[in-house]
Amino acid sequence: MGCETACWHSVLLRVLIWRECGVLSTRHDGWTLLHNLGFSFPKACFGSEPLDEAKCLAGLAEQWPAIFRAAKRCKGLLLCEDEASFALWGSVSDTGARRGRQPEVPTSGKRKGSKVLGAIAYCSGGLFSEGIAGRLNSENDQAFLQRILEQTTARLFVIHDGARYHTSASTQALLATQSERITVHPLPSSSPDDHPIAYLWKNTKKRAPHNQYFQEFTVLTVSVDKALAYFATHPETFLELFGLYCEASGLELKQAA
């Protein structure tokens, strides 16, 4: 409507009613009218840009089975790599409480978090993970890939997003020197959320920081490490996560076999 702000409030609503209807209402009348019309006043949230869902699924259906077959032919590891941050102030989620009482999680307000690099192996459920001190960068990512190479002799087929530290010149130089061991498959830019490891981070946050207050940074990192250690010793959990991914993408393992 040509206003300087994207947030609706009572003054904007009065201006709109006056402009369109020629009626100068009170702010209470405006909200009552909206309520009766089925509107509410929720907090906004972030969302991905509009994507061509059909195009995303078509690209996924073509690329995913081909990558799987290539990894299977040479008995390689198909790894889904991603990063996650776990805030010191925790995170909130739905939980039980007495009616009319909202659960409250205390917080210190300290803006600090634990960052983790992770990669899970498709079909086997194997987990590679590493906590990062400081900001995620190309050096962190390269060191993580090097440590994975040290832990296995299999060829790696790595699927990750287009984060800058994955695509930087120094990371590309490392991949070039390890081309016989690592093949990278970036996720399509049109489908940034199509990544199985996203389910891992979601479940890790449920087991670690959800509805918890951490007074010390080390307590947070220990909590995250324990959650990841649980998943590392329960690979069947990862297979369930991939099952959700296959279901969401309309694919089944037998299609790629």
Domains of the chain, by residue range, sit at: 8-42, 53-92+106-256
Lowest pLDDT segment from 82-91, 133-142, 155-164, 170-179: 82-91
**What is the average per-residue pLDDT within 1-13?**
64
* Confidence check: pLDDT of 221 > 80: yes
pTM above 0.85, yes or no: no
Which of 226, 222, 223, 225 is closest to 210 using CA atoms?
223
Across the range 113-124, mean pLDDT stands at 86
Query: What percent of the chain is modeled with pLDDT above 90?
Result: 21
Q: Is 161 helix (H, G, I), strand (E, B) or coil?
A: coil
pLDDT exceeds 80 at position 77: yes
> DSSP letter at 168?
S
**CB 136, CB 165: distance < 8 Å:** yes
- Laid out side by side, the sheet with 182-186 consists of 127-132, 113-121, 77-87, 156-160, 182-186
**Top-level CATH class of 53-92+106-256?**
alpha beta
Average pLDDT for residues 59-76, to the nearest whole number? 81
Q: Is residue 158 a contact partner of residue 119, using CB atoms and an 8 Å limit?
A: yes
Strands 156-160 and 182-186: parallel
Separation in Å, CA 241 to CA 66, 127, 181, 227: 20, 13, 26, 15
* 100: CB partners within 8 A, 6+ apart: none
Can you say whether residue 196 is alpha, beta or left, with left for phi > 0 and alpha for psi between -120 and 50 degrees? alpha
pLDDT, residue 16, reads 77
Q: Is the pLDDT of residue 166 over 70?
A: yes
The residue with greater pLDDT, 190 or 164, is: 164
Region 228-256: mean pLDDT is 70
Identify the pLDDT of residue 122. 83
How does residue 184 score in pLDDT terms, banded at 50, 70 and 90?
Answer: very high
pLDDT digits (tens, 9 = 90+) for 25-66: 776 777 777 777 777 766 665 555 555 566 666 666 677 778
pLDDT at position 255: 46
Q: What is the DSSP letter of 154?
A: S
DSSP state of 38: T
